[in-house]
Amino acid sequence: MIALAHTPARLRERLAAFFALDRRLGRIVAATTEPMLGQMRLAWWREMFAKPHEDRPQGDAVLETIGEHWGSAEDSLIRLVDGWEHLIGEGPLARTDATAFAFGRQLALCAVFEDACDAAALRASSKLWALADLAANVSDDGERRTLLALARELDSETIRLPREAKGVVVLRALAKRSVKNGGRPLMEGRGASITAMKAAILRR
């Protein structure tokens, strides 16, 4: 993930753990054909975050990395699980579920940088990425339109974020480009690298 390259070393493992968990939850949702089974698999993660680290099972690299680098902020990862759960069920994706998904995902991403950023600017940037990234990965055109409409409602002002959150600045720039292009993949085309580099340099 390109955001990791623009994140300070002291926060990099924490951000990497967020992305790893986010991908794991996304795979659970994508593979779910029976909603109840998908909900049970997501519930397992909630249970793990509710347990002391010493009571958790060994051998899951994602869970162990979270335990090592997230500390008391693990509560925000429960909201990430909750957000993904809103994507389980019969389609099409409702606007309310899309909003709830983005809210849970943005909270978890913000928690990586909670001591470094202006809360409002970070929330807006994280939510834009959450919506644009999902829009680029859904197959249903109607769902993509719903997600893009929500993304376009966000304030498009490019607020300058602190250096520690340069990775989020890059995600925001790529998300804005994706939304402008109708929900195309964030890293599609040579222009994506130029967009990311420009955002990293200017932090806006």
Give residue-wise pLDDT tens across range 100-147.
999 999 999 999 987 665 678 888 999 999 999 999 999 999 999 999
- With vertex at residue 24, the alpha carbon angle to CA 27 and CA 182, rounded to the nearest 5 degrees, is 60
Dist. CA 108–CA 126, nearest whole Å: 9
| 161 neighbors 122 (Cβ within 8 angstroms) | yes
Q: What are the φ/ψ torsions at residue 72 (nearest 5 degrees)?
A: -70, -15
pLDDT for residue 104: 97
Query: Side chain identity at 80, as an amino acid letter?
Result: L
pLDDT for residue 7: 94
pLDDT for residue 113: 85
Dist. CA 85–CA 43, nearest whole Å: 9
pLDDT for residue 118: 63
Q: Residue 111: CB partners within 8 Å, gap ≥ 6?
A: 18, 70, 73, 76, 77
Dist. CA 179–CA 148, nearest whole Å: 6
